[in-house]
Amino acid sequence: MPDTQSDTQPYDPAAVEAKWRERWIERRTNAADLDGAAEPFYNLMMFPYPSAEGLHVGNVFAFVGSDIYGRYRRLRGADVFEPIGFDAFGIHSENYALKVNTHPAELIPRNIARFREQLRRVGLMVDWDHELSTTDPDYYHWTQWIFLQLYKAGLAEKRAAPVNWCPMCKTVLANEQVIDGYCERHPETRVIQRVLEQWFFKITDFAARLLDNLERLDWSDSTRTLQRNWIGKSEGADLVFATPTGQEIHVFTTRPDTVFGATYVVLAPEHPLVEALTTAEQRSAVNAYRRKVAQMDLVSRRVGSKDKTGEFTGAYARNPATGESVPIWIADYVLMEYGTGAIMAVPAHDERDHEFATAFELPIIPVVRMRDGTTPDLPFTTRDGVLVNSGQFDGMSCEDGIRAVTDWLETKKLGTRQVQYRLHDWCISRQRYWGPPIPVIYCDTCGTVPVPEEDLPVILPPLENFRPDESGVSPLARLEEWYRVPCPKCGGTARRETDVSDTFLDSSWYFLRYPSTDFDDRAFDPARTTRWLPVDSYIGGNEHAVLHLMYSRFITMVLHDLGHLKFEEPFTRFRAHGTIVKDGAKMSKSRGNVVVPDEYIAQWGADTFRMYLMFLGPYQEGGDFRDEGISGIRRFLDKVWALTAQPVGGTPDDDALRKLHQTIRKVTDDLQELRYNTAIAAMMEYVNVLRQEGQDAAREMPRELVEPLVVMLAPFAPHFAEECWERLWHHESVFDGSWPAFDAALAKDVEIELVVQVNGKVRARLTVPAGINEEEATRRALADEHVKRFIDGGPTKKVIFVKDRLLNLVV
């Protein structure tokens, strides 16, 4: 006899959920057999940043959607591994710690404890044996190890790069912290550009692969599009503008066909050739301009469509197509980090070049006209035009011209086909405290020396005052006793790198760690990794579509190339969930519209809340959070509760059985595609049918009608389903049972409603046997009084028949 509540008692979520939370721990229901699983299924959800505020409904929405899928796969027979961890390093945690004046080392464990408790209450099928935190030395040991692998492969290098610097905060700012050129925290202080030495990972070497592989991944289209745009592939040509003094200016263009209209050349102010090209007369003006640009912050430098500024270098270069001499300018609208840092300006057909040419009175020559012979107002840009003023290419279409001009310049050795990517190398240096120290030592004699792997981890030392200061280096640079070390190579005087690495490096490999958290001598165990990876299902927000997912793919690709992994793509299937907003705006503390799940779970129970979030709207779209409809879900669960209280027995009638199998088909299809809202609606419909059949609570409820319902409900409302399952005299967990089998024969309708249209307008609905043929359907339709009236005795010109759906008579 199961020790359940008496069947006559109402559903009490608090009691049911407390009982099953305990049970699952006791029985180790959610622990995966990592070494013996026959059908491993890695169900991953993006791990949270453990903020001080705790979980908000957006997190719960995301996790529950992933959990439902994992539970569903388990019921389909898979051995599901569903781990969780905490992304607890980074500027986010550090800034908060500074604000509340508490050390992050103290704050983070507290936040994690709170998150853990909240997550448990949500009822996720998490295997807590493999919890991790990126701040744990056992974890960042291997983050540092990964850095070393990249370093050894020549994919990590230190170089100078411009950063945003706030003279008031005396620290480096991320682009997001610069508001219209001013510091976020000091609105009166202009942010300036400062050049600092930084570590970069050469992700650009992988641009083509990262792009090409996207085609083969089973990922949300929206996410793939974001990645594709971020990588930003452009096909074009590298053209050479030679100078009389012997220098060659290489420009990148996607429109080599317009080269005849290139009336001047522009270099980025930082371009290395500027120095050599600038004439004596122009030197002071050029230097003044370059200084001015260097003073600007990176963000306002990148704000487009402002007034164009620039300076003439005094030098000229030869247009490779026309042979004419064109002036060489410098201007800040040309960016050093894209292409070659130099452009050919075609002011007739490029808006920016046109603005610049107009401002500095440079010649503007149209070289394209429209196909219909007209020339719109300048500037206009089209690829669907015809070349003019272009020598032997006149009359050629732009598309043909792109090929022909490139070929022609190639034979003259003045051009080559070229592919450019927008993707930049990944700067992983942070002049901050709260992160894994970058494992490098600088020796006076040996230079840059990686920390030997056996000396890892480089422990982040305790530091009372971790506030960044004016030095532009990490607060760790204040700890001389920490950074002063002997060189691992020669034993001479050396110092540690004091920068820490980017949080995105922590999160770029955490999925590799989960199955292997019990190994402290390796980042990931080969056997475990082979069994469980790549990840079978990954669900997360599109806010991480670019950085996190791109970096994870990159790190995986590198580890694959270095022979550490057998696969080069980490996530076989990725689905982006939607965002839960409140009153039309993203939830944020500053807006004061954060919805906390705790009170809802306390009032309604986790199961009702889980289901309600899923019923709100399409999972992959998200929606606005309101709680008006939550009682509807509770009413539904109460109804199911009542059904499981009815005596079990009897034989199902055909209508109920048909509806059951139609529901199984619908729910199964929907779960596979994460259409949780419509799956819930289908189960509600089924329950409405069952209740009509078994109105009288004393009547018997056939086992084969109620059990499949409980199983289908289990992914959504796991505690509830366990309790119902037990009420139906089962002793094992519902999750050790199996998904109901769909029987197509039983699901088949015997009768259908055939829509009869006359000239496309519905005039009748006939109940007919399923599978009726066109002649019979037409005969019956024509016999219908109402249809007759609209046909008006005339002959039918055309009959359109869609089997079991519709008959359209055209007269």
Partner RNA sequence: GCCCGGGUGGCGAAACCGGCAGACGCAAGGGACUUAAAAUCCCUAGGGAGGCGACUCCCAUGUGGGUUCGAAUCCCACCCCGGGCACCA
Enumerate residues 212-241 that contact RNA by CB under 7 A: 221-222, 225-226, 229-230, 232, 234, 236
Does 244 sit behind a cis peptide bond, omega within 30 degrees of 0 on the bond before it? no
Please, which of residues 399-438 interact with RNA by CB under 7 A?
420, 422
Among 99, 216, 413, 798, binds RNA (CB under 7 A): 798
Cβ nearer to RNA, comparing 126 with 409: 409
Cβ nearer to RNA, comparing 225 with 245: 225
Q: Are 238 and 463 in contact (CB under 8 A)?
A: no
Among 22, 384, 399, 621, binds RNA (CB under 7 A): 621
Angle between helices 630-645 and 676-693 (to 10 degrees): 40
Give the number of other Cβ atoms within 10 Å of residue 212's Cβ.
11
How many residues in the chain?
Answer: 811
Among 184, 685, 704, 743, binds RNA (CB under 7 A): 685
Taking CB under 7 A as the binding criterion, the range among 124-132, 588-596, 675-683, 720-728 that sits at the site for RNA is 675-683
Find the radius of gyration of the CA atoms of the chain. Answer: 34
CB of 588 to RNA, least distance (A): 11
CB of 753 to RNA, least distance (A): 4
Q: Is residue 181 near RNA by the rule CB under 7 A?
A: no
Give the number of other Cβ atoms within 10 Å of residue 563's Cβ.
7
Q: How far is it, in rounded angstroms, from Cα 335 to Cα 342?
A: 8
Q: Is residue 544 near RNA by the rule CB under 7 A?
A: no
Taking CB under 7 A as the binding criterion, the range among 36-44, 68-76, 617-625, 731-739 that sits at the site for RNA is 617-625
CB of 798 to RNA, least distance (A): 6
Cβ nearer to RNA, comparing 355 with 568: 355
Q: How far is it, in rounded angstroms, from Cα 43 to Cα 65?
A: 11
Among 128, 338, 519, 567, binds RNA (CB under 7 A): 338
CB of 685 to RNA, least distance (A): 4
Taking CB under 7 A as the binding criterion, the range among 124-132, 148-156, 461-469, 753-761 that sits at the site for RNA is 753-761
Please, which of residues 578-607 interact with RNA by CB under 7 A?
584-586
- Tokens, residue 74: 């388990």
CB of 623 to RNA, least distance (A): 4
Could you tell me if residue 171 is left (phi over 0), alpha (psi between -120 and 50 degrees) or otherwise beta? beta
Among 53, 543, 700, 732, binds RNA (CB under 7 A): 543
Among 46, 334, 701, 781, binds RNA (CB under 7 A): 334
Among 284, 382, 631, 773, binds RNA (CB under 7 A): 631
Cβ nearer to RNA, comparing 233 with 560: 233
Q: Are 740 and 682 in contact (CB under 8 A)?
A: no
Cβ nearer to RNA, comparing 310 with 450: 310
> What CA–CA distances, in Å, run from 402 to 257, 342, 396, 478?
5, 19, 10, 57
Among 51, 397, 542, 796, binds RNA (CB under 7 A): 542
Among 58, 261, 339, 437, binds RNA (CB under 7 A): 339
Q: Report the 3 state secondary structure along 485-519.
A: EECCCCCCEEEECCCEECHHHHCCCHHHHHHHCCC
Among 599, 624, 653, 700, binds RNA (CB under 7 A): 624
Strands (E), 254-337: 264-267, 311-318, 325-330
Q: Is residue 680 near RNA by the rule CB under 7 A?
A: yes
Among 133, 253, 390, 663, binds RNA (CB under 7 A): 253
- Tokens, residue 365: 């020559």
CB of 643 to RNA, least distance (A): 11
Cβ nearer to RNA, comparing 113 with 359: 359
Cβ nearer to RNA, comparing 439 with 715: 715
Cβ nearer to RNA, comparing 407 with 561: 407
Please, which of residues 278-317 interact with RNA by CB under 7 A?
301-306, 308
CB of 68 to RNA, least distance (A): 16
Among 311, 350, 499, 707, binds RNA (CB under 7 A): 350
Q: Are 605 and 14 in contact (CB under 8 A)?
A: yes
CB of 596 to RNA, least distance (A): 20
Q: Dihedral of CA 267/271/277/282: which sign?
A: positive
Please, which of residues 355-394 interact with RNA by CB under 7 A?
none
Q: Is residue 335 near RNA by the rule CB under 7 A?
A: yes
Residue 546's H or E segment, with its range, is none
Per-position DSSP letters for 432-495, written without gaps between them = SSSSPBP-EEEETTTEEEEPPGGG--------S-----TTSS-GGGG-HHHHEEE-TTT--EEE
Order of strands across the sheet that contains 573-577: 79-81, 40-45, 537-541, 573-577, 218-219
Q: How far is it, in rounded angstroms, from Cα 645 to Cα 699?
A: 10
Residues of 154-169 as b/e, b for ≥16 C-beta within 10 angstroms? ebbebeebbbbbbeeb
Among 3, 521, 628, 792, binds RNA (CB under 7 A): 628
- Helices and strands, number each (H, E), in the chain: 27, 35
CB of 690 to RNA, least distance (A): 11
Taking CB under 7 A as the binding criterion, the range among 251-259, 274-282, 397-405, 589-597 that sits at the site for RNA is 251-259
CB of 764 to RNA, least distance (A): 8
Taking CB under 7 A as the binding criterion, the range among 38-46, 53-61, 487-495, 539-547 that sits at the site for RNA is 539-547
Contacts of 400 (CB under 8 A, 6+ apart): none
Please, which of residues 688-747 interact with RNA by CB under 7 A?
688, 691
Contacts of 107 (CB under 8 A, 6+ apart): 52, 93, 96, 97, 100
Q: Is residue 636 near RNA by the rule CB under 7 A?
A: yes
Cα torsion 91, 92, 97, 99 to 10°: value is: 100
Count of positions on this chain that bind RNA (CB under 7 A): 84
Q: Which residues pair with 193 in a beta bridge?
A: 164
Among 18, 208, 783, 800, binds RNA (CB under 7 A): 800
Q: How far is it, in rounded angstroms, from Cα 678 to Cα 756?
A: 28
